[in-house]
Amino acid sequence: MKTTLKKMLLALLLGACSATSSAGVINFDDLSGDFTEAIAGGYQGLNWDNVGSIRSDAFPGSGYEAGTVSQANTAYNRDGGAVAISKAGAGTFNFVGAFFTSAWVEQEISFEGYLDGQLTHSSATSFVLDTTTPLWVQLGWSGIDTLLIYNSSGTQWAMDDMKVPEPASLALFGAGAMGLMLARRRKLPAR
């Protein structure tokens, strides 16, 4: 009985740990927020083509200010055009979603996910962004090495709290779930 209880507690602890860290959140707050600088390749394990970070107070009243969900900074498409976010080095990443806000005018954005140069995911519809309220865009795409973000206006948008699951956390979650299943299976009486 004590062994089963210990296993159940361990499984619950593993599950709780993985639930709190099941997705890495990239909030860009550890960057300078100097809008003249591009985000360096390799930041958070990704390459950022046409992406910079900007402080929320750089342009008061803009979508940058409204779109900063976490502390001080948000990411943005530097020239107002398309953005490519790709895995730095080998492997893939998962894109759960992020908050998006238009910087200056209402616009639409759409997404494509690629693996080894092949289109594997595409947003069925575009998402309408305004300048006052961050919109959570959840796609839940897994196993991509490149994420492309397109917009309709040719102007900037802001992105914050990008959720990218960490493989180690997913493994921890799986171990916790397996432990719970095993503990429960042993607890159930035989029929």
CB 88 within 8 A of CB 41: yes
Asked if 62 and 139 sit in the same domain, the reply is yes
Asked if 83 and 114 sit in the same domain, the reply is yes
Asked if 187 and 141 sit in the same domain, the reply is no
- Determine the longest span between alpha carbons in the chain, in angstroms: 69
Among 115, 110, 64, 116, residue whose Cα is nearest residue 83: 110
Asked if 9 and 88 sit in the same domain, the reply is no
Asked if 67 and 6 sit in the same domain, the reply is no
CA dist., res. 81 & res. 67, Å (int): 18
pLDDT of residue 184: 54
pLDDT of residue 21: 38
Among 82, 30, 80, 75, residue whose Cα is nearest residue 54: 75
Domain count, the chain: 2
Secondary structure element (H or E) that encloses residue 154, with its range: none
Asked if 66 and 97 sit in the same domain, the reply is yes
pLDDT of residue 165: 87
Asked if 56 and 16 sit in the same domain, the reply is no
Tell me the residue ranges of DSSP E strands in 78-184.
83-87, 93-102, 107-115, 118-122, 127-129, 135-144, 146-151, 157-164
Kindly write down the DSSP assignment for every residue of 30-63, as one continuous string: TS---TTSBPPTTGGGEEEETEEEEETTSSTTSH
Asked if 73 and 149 sit in the same domain, the reply is yes
pTM: 0.77
By three-state DSSP, how is residue 156 classified?
Answer: coil
pLDDT of residue 54: 98
Asked if 95 and 119 sit in the same domain, the reply is yes
CA dist., res. 56 & res. 70, Å (int): 10
Among 74, 84, 26, 31, residue whose Cα is nearest residue 54: 74
Q: What is the mean pLDDT of each run of 10 residues along the chain (191 residues)?
A: 50 42 81 97 97 97 96 96 97 97 97 98 96 98 98 95 75 52 55 54
Asked if 172 and 129 sit in the same domain, the reply is no
Which CATH number goes with the domain that contains 36? 2.60.120.1350
Asked if 9 and 31 sit in the same domain, the reply is no
Asked if 63 and 78 sit in the same domain, the reply is yes
Q: Which domain holds residue 8?
A: 1-22+168-191
